[in-house]
Amino acid sequence: MEHYMPEIFWHDRKAILSVDSHPVVKDGAYRIVTASVQREVRIWRFEYEQCTKVPSKYQLAVTFLANLVGHNVAINEVKFSPNSELNLLASGDSDGRIAIWQLSDAPNTAPAIDDLPPNKENWVRLRILNHDSEVTSVAWSPDGRLLASVSNDESLLVHDVTSGKRCVTVRNLRHFPNGVTWDPKGKYIVTMSTDRKMDVIDAAKGTRLRMFGVSALPEVTIGDVSLEHKVYKLFHDDQLMSFQRGVAFSPCGQLIIAPCANLEIHTREVFGTYIFKRSELDSDKPFAFLPCPKATFLIRCCPLLMTLKKDQENYSGLPYRILWLALTKDTVYFYDSQHPYPIGLVENIQYNSLTDAAWSADGKNIIISSLEGYCTFLKLTVEQWGCKVFLVLLLFVTFLFPNSDRYLFAFQIEQEQAEECPPSPQLIQSKKRKPREKKNKGSAPFDYSPF
């Protein structure tokens, strides 16, 4: 894993609230989008170039592509559509407006703004979608034609972005919903809110199918904290200072990974992440709890599925490994679905709080934004994490066996022997920053707790 932090004024030193990566990687070049409190959306390209003085090393090269103007207030989230043919982008702001942008083949004729160079790409505004209040999170459907959005007006809306038609309206959803994700299989939409709830919603009808907020948990020991058998509130309250609660589905759709886990045990607080299994959504409790020393607020999954490590435990029972990161305000923790503890961590990469993260489509890069106004890049060697599994074939198996909630087969398309997984935990620190001592507010050490 390599760490890069280019000293670029991404948004003129203003806080960056959101970052996302385009679903297509072409010739080793990646396209990303950033948004900030500066009211502008900016498109960038980055790639790695070989150093002339040290050929064995590579340097990060970032190129400005476009500056999109159309918002009057801070932009809370930006997301590329997974449909690369449509080439769409959604940006939601604090006024309740969602702008849908589309990449046009027509030449750009707009003049350059201020000190920015002319746009190299022509992104045109396709349409505007509206909430009554601040848009907090957006999520695309698997086919990239529908957009789900949640807002401070306590609603969930689903729009067909090609026509502008509103397909689903859910009013009085929750108090301040600020996280939404769409099931890769298209069946569910999952939301999280500051009133300590997670809802599973029918994506086609908008009806609430399941709610997770409180649960009777069994007696179990988490590190040095003993959990009594009683009813607990599962999630952190509105005192958690985060711009979003980034719940996520795994790429295969078999797991829902929820941040903001918070168990109050007497005078202690145990933070972490919950794992919910698709096949066990009728249960009133999560499948597993992964403790963390700090409060997590965002989950991002690697788009690749990996083969299992041989002769090692596999607490999830899946026939492949899912990789994901959990973001806290100053640390990135890496997990997988095979090991019940972090397999890596990165800390001290920014002075100010982290805000968002994006995983590139090929799984080789992670981009992390912060209130400091900079983006951090983590370059990964995917082969270190295992051999890739072909997701398309897995989805085909599910199509052939629609009544099965579990994948029965995994197809390995890279037969070469993978390198060993990085040691656990793996600590990556920026050389320019000294580790800061943090007081542990009663959180437990890492320990797996199946419920």
pLDDT at 419: 36
The closest alpha carbon to 380, from 400, 394, 360, belongs to 360
Q: What DSSP state is assigned to residue 420?
A: P
pLDDT at 390: 52
Considering Cα of 360, then 363, then 364, then 366, what sign does the dihedral take?
Answer: positive
pLDDT at 451: 61
Helices (H), 374-434: 391-400
**How many Å apart are CA 399 and CA 276, to the nearest integer?**
22
The tens place of each residue's pLDDT in the chain, 451 residues long, gives 888 999 898 998 899 999 999 999 998 999 999 999 989 999 999 999 988 878 778 899 999 999 999 999 999 999 999 999 999 999 999 999 999 999 999 887 777 777 788 999 999 999 999 999 999 999 999 999 999 999 999 999 999 999 999 999 999 889 889 999 999 999 999 999 999 999 999 999 999 999 999 999 988 888 788 888 999 999 999 888 888 999 999 999 999 999 999 999 888 899 999 999 999 999 889 999 999 999 999 999 999 999 898 888 899 999 999 999 999 999 999 999 999 889 999 998 998 999 999 999 999 999 999 999 999 999 988 766 666 765 444 444 444 444 444 333 333 333 333 333 333 333 333 334 444 444 444 444 445 566 6
Q: Give the three-class secondary structure for 10.
A: coil
**How many Å apart are CA 19 and CA 412, to the nearest integer?**
31
Task: Give residue for tokens 């999630």.
Answer: 235
Task: Give residue for tokens 């709890």.
Answer: 289
**How many Å apart are CA 80 and CA 399, to the nearest integer?**
26
Q: Give the three-class secondary structure for 98.
A: strand
**How many Å apart are CA 449 and CA 294, to the nearest integer?**
17
| DSSP codes of every residue in 361-372 | TTSSEEEEEETT
CA distances from 75 to 15, 251, 299, 307, 377 (A): 11, 26, 20, 38, 22
All domains of the chain in start order, with CATH: 2-450 (2.130.10.10)
**Cβ atoms of residues 191 and 174 within 8 Å:** yes
**How many Å apart are CA 359 and CA 301, to the nearest integer?**
7
- Exposure string of 210-231, with b = 16+ CB inside 10 Å and e = fewer, is eebeeeebeeeebeebebeeee
Residue 382 main-chain phi, psi, to 5 deg: -60, -35
Tokens standing for residue 151: 């807002």
Query: From the centroid of its chain, how far is CA 255?
Result: 14
- Exposure string of 425-439, with b = 16+ CB inside 10 Å and e = fewer, is eeebeeeeeeeeeee
Peptide bond into 425 cis (omega under 30): yes
The alpha carbon torsion through 366, 371, 374, 375 (nearest 10 deg) reads: 10
Separation of first and last alpha carbons in the chain: 33
